[in-house]
Structure 1
């Protein structure tokens, strides 16, 4: 495991009423790969297709759950 490098930069403005703190961390390989995959799957035409397919899958999952629940709730004895 490699140690992550990070740096903290603190600068105070002249008037003293505003302080600025900025932190930067060296990105690891996993983070870069994750961001690349997320960017590819969540943007553009592929992102739209993934969102549509996710919405359709969610619709059918809720529909089937409601159907099964309604069947057992309203089942004749």
Structure 2
């Protein structure tokens, strides 16, 4: 270390060109499926469609239950 450059640290090893940052191949199938369906714009669309489907199913169950309870 040179006495003129006290207090500075050089990170030359981070500037190498042979660093492989391909993380996609090491992910499991479930992680890739989660990233595809639950993150970003697609995740928002899937969430909205799922919420609407749940509301429709709850409405149908409530309607049929109310029909059979109140048909005296």
TM range (shorter): 0.5 to 0.7
Q: Deviations over 1:29-71 (max 9, x none)?
A: xx71110011110010000000000000000000000000000
In the superposition, the TM-score normalised over structure 2's length comes to 0.61
- C-alpha displacement of 1:73: 0.4
Which runs of 4 or more aligned residues in structure 1 lie more than 4 Å from their structure 2 counterparts after TM superposition? none
User: Out of 26, 33, 52, which is 2:48 matched to?
Assistant: 52
Higher relative contact order (CA 8 A, sep 6+): 1
User: Out of 6, 31, 38, which is 1:35 matched to?
Assistant: 31
> Which sections of structure 1, spanning at least 5 residues, go unmatched?
1-27
In the superposition, the TM-score normalised over structure 1's length comes to 0.57
> Which sections of structure 2, spanning at least 5 residues, go unmatched?
1-25
Residues in 1 aligned to 2:71 and 2:41: alpha-carbon distance in whole angstroms:
44
- CA RMSD after TM alignment: 1.5
Q: Judging by fraction of residues, say which structure has more strand.
A: 1
Residues in 1 aligned to 2:43 and 2:49: alpha-carbon distance in whole angstroms:
10
Which has the higher Rg, Structure 1 or Structure 2?
A: 2
